[in-house]
Amino acid sequence: MRRVRNIVFVIAIGLFSTIVSCTKENDDQPEFRRVVILYFAANNNLSSYAANNIDNLKQGFLPEEESRNILLVYSHLTGSLPKLLRLYKDETGKIHEDVVANYENQNSASPEVLKGMLDKVKIIFPAEEYGLILWSHGTGWLPKGYYANTSGFNVFMPDPYAGLVKSFAEDSGEEMEITELKAAIPYNLSFIIFDCCFMGGIETIFELKDKCDYIVASPTEILATGFPYDEIIRPLFENTADLTEACQLYYDYYNNMNGIYKSATISIYQTDKLQKLAETCKTIFNNNRSKISTLNISTIQPYYRMNKHWFYDMGDFIESIASPAEYTTFKAALEEVVVDKWTTPYFIDIKIDSYSGVSTYIQNPANAYLDNFYKGYNWNIQTEMIK
């Protein structure tokens, strides 16, 4: 790698001055400021979209060669072996792609593979903070294969629709459930951005709350074209990563389109406020338990299409069962978690009348399998929606 060769050279010629001048504080300071990693798990039917996103990425902001900011891209596209690259521009503006690692064929939907890549990054690029963008299929908290194998739908939709299959990631039929994703993240991240469908659910963000400071995700699907990577990378390397600007750019990109392309929902979640929200919801659920099981869920704002009825607006749900005083307390707690949110008037054919910025599952006694699976999530353990 060009950057590493330069580092070795500087150390070699300046060894004496380094020994004399370094303090313990300097020794402890990480070499890099911020590392942003894009993880394209695209060995699936979205591979061409991932390739386009990577091409677009190169047309926008890239850190400079000697910067303390590092941009890394792990890509596993159909027909190609996985690789990890560092992208940067030199002083002339020329784009460089240094190979950090070449891999043999491996399953990028495996938690072991994701963890191994993240461990490697921390060893090679010790930094003050890390951000992670996860790109692939997604269906939030649902069990492996559940979205694809229920209701008899062929869930891959042609352009311009989002690819819909899986919890997070899909590779040769393998999937990664959210609990596995949690276990695969070996150190705290400043932020996780999900460029995949349905990851803006309370179950998902609560499960990952101890893994990062902020999460960016959509409670609905995301169109297969994904984020505008030529625009959103620059804000992520501001002195403080500007997630609000990155989300605004994403929203503006789709809101300026026409027809079904004018479809985008996105939110920013502050994870250290989630426990307070859980405690608030536990009180509401315990006080209004009879209302949950008898609720007419057709009256609650949906975030799903094609009869995949497992994602509803959380604020609309709580308002429908809570007392006015309880809802006021809930709303205040939720606003501390959802620090910013955006939505177009429709997402494809879903009219967005109520948008709290986060989705939830609602107990469904008719679906014992899904209710039982849901009980294992930390969100339900903490809130006891389903006992």
Q: Is residue 193 part of a domain?
A: yes
Give the distance, in angstroms, between the CA of residue 330 and the centroid of all CA atoms in the same chain: 24
256-272: burial string, b at 16+ Cβ within 10 Å, e else: ebeeebebbbbbbbbbe
Task: Look at residue 32 and give its three-state secondary structure.
Answer: strand
Q: What string of pLDDT tens digits covers the 387 residues of the chain?
A: 333 333 333 333 343 333 333 333 455 789 999 999 999 998 888 899 999 999 999 999 999 999 999 999 999 999 999 999 999 999 999 999 999 999 999 999 899 999 999 999 999 999 999 999 999 888 787 777 677 654 322 233 333 333 333 357 777 778 888 899 999 999 999 999 999 999 999 999 999 999 999 999 999 999 999 999 999 999 999 999 999 999 999 999 999 999 999 999 999 999 999 999 999 999 999 999 999 988 999 999 999 887 778 899 999 999 999 999 999 999 999 999 999 999 999 999 999 999 999 999 999 888 888 899 899 899 999 999 999
Count: domains in the chain: 2
**Within a domain: 60:** yes
Do 235 and 257 have their domain in common?
yes
- Tell me the H-state helices in the chain: 2-13, 15-21, 24-28, 47-59, 111-124, 178-184, 202-207, 229-236, 243-255, 274-287, 289-293, 314-321, 324-337, 368-374, 378-383
Strand partners, 99: 85
Does the residue 208 lie in any domain?
yes
> What separation in angstroms does the CA of 204 have from each of 41, 71, 215?
19, 26, 10
CATH number at residue 128: 3.40.50.11970
Q: Within 10 A of 317 (CB to CB), how many other CB atoms are there?
A: 25
Answer yes or no: is 22 within a domain: no
- pLDDT score recorded for residue 137: 83
Q: Are residues 231 and 117 in the same domain?
A: yes
DSSP state of 224: T
What's the rounded Cα separation, in Å, for the pair 72 and 132?
10
Domain boundary among 242, 273, 304: 273
